[in-house]
Amino acid sequence: MFIMWFANFFVAASATMILPFLSLFIDTFGNYSDSYVQRWSGFIFGITFLTAFLVSPIWGRIGDKYGYKPILILTGTGIATSILLMSFVSSVHELFILRMFMGLATGFIPTSMALISAQTSKEIAGKTLGTLQTGTVTGGLLGPLLGGMLADSFGFTYTFFITAGIIYFAVILVAFGIKEKKVEPLDSKEKHYTRKEVIAYIVHKPMLLKIMFLSLLIQAANFSIQPLLALYVNELTGAANLALLAGFAFSATGFGNLLVSRNWGKLGDKIGHEKVIVLLMFLSSLLFIPQALATSLWQLVLFRFLFGMVVGGLIPCMTAYIRTAAPLSMQGEVHGYNVSFRFLGNVIGPAMGGIISSFYGISTVFYVTSFIFLCSGLLLLYSITHQEGTKKTVET
Helix (H) or strand (E) holding 326: none
The reported pLDDT for the residue numbered 239 is 66
Q: Is 245 exposed, middle or buried (0-12, 13-18, 19+ CB in 10 A)?
A: buried
Indicate the pTM of the whole model.
0.66
- Up-side HSE of residue 192: CA atoms within 13 Å toward CB? 0
Mean pLDDT of 259-280: 83
pLDDT, mean over the chain? 79
The reported pLDDT for the residue numbered 186 is 46
Q: How far is CA 287 from the centre of its chain?
A: 19
Q: How far is CA 83 from the centre of its chain?
A: 18
Q: Which of 27, 106, 67 is nearest to 331 (CA)?
A: 67
CB-based contact 112:9 (threshold 8 Å)? no
- Classify domain 2-178+194-395 by CATH architecture: Up-down Bundle (1.20)
The reported pLDDT for the residue numbered 286 is 93
- Directed axis angle between helix 206-223 and helix 195-203, to 10°? 90
Mean pLDDT of 329-336: 72
Higher pLDDT, 39 or 282: 282
Residues 6+ apart with CB under 8 A from 185: 191, 327, 328, 329
Question: Virtual CA dihedral for 19, 20, 25, 27, nearest 10 degrees?
Answer: 120
Of how many residues is the chain composed?
396
pLDDT digit string, tens, across residues 203-262: 888 778 888 888 888 778 777 877 677 778 888 876 666 667 777 777 787 777 777 777
Judged against a pLDDT cut of 90, whether residue 9 lies above it is answered with no
Rounded to whole angstroms, the Cα distance separating 360 from 327 reads 46
Rounded to whole angstroms, the Cα distance separating 309 from 131 reads 14
pLDDT digit string, tens, across residues 285-302: 999 899 888 888 888 889
Rounded to whole angstroms, the Cα distance separating 174 from 368 reads 40
For the chain, the domains span 2-178+194-395
pLDDT digit string, tens, across residues 162-211: 888 888 988 998 888 887 776 555 444 445 667 788 888 888 887 788 88
Cβ atoms within 10 Å of 236's Cβ, excluding its own: 16
Mean pLDDT of 357-368: 87
Rounded to whole angstroms, the Cα distance separating 376 from 381 reads 9
pLDDT digit string, tens, across residues 132-157: 767 776 776 677 677 777 777 778 88
Judged against a pLDDT cut of 80, whether residue 41 lies above it is answered with no
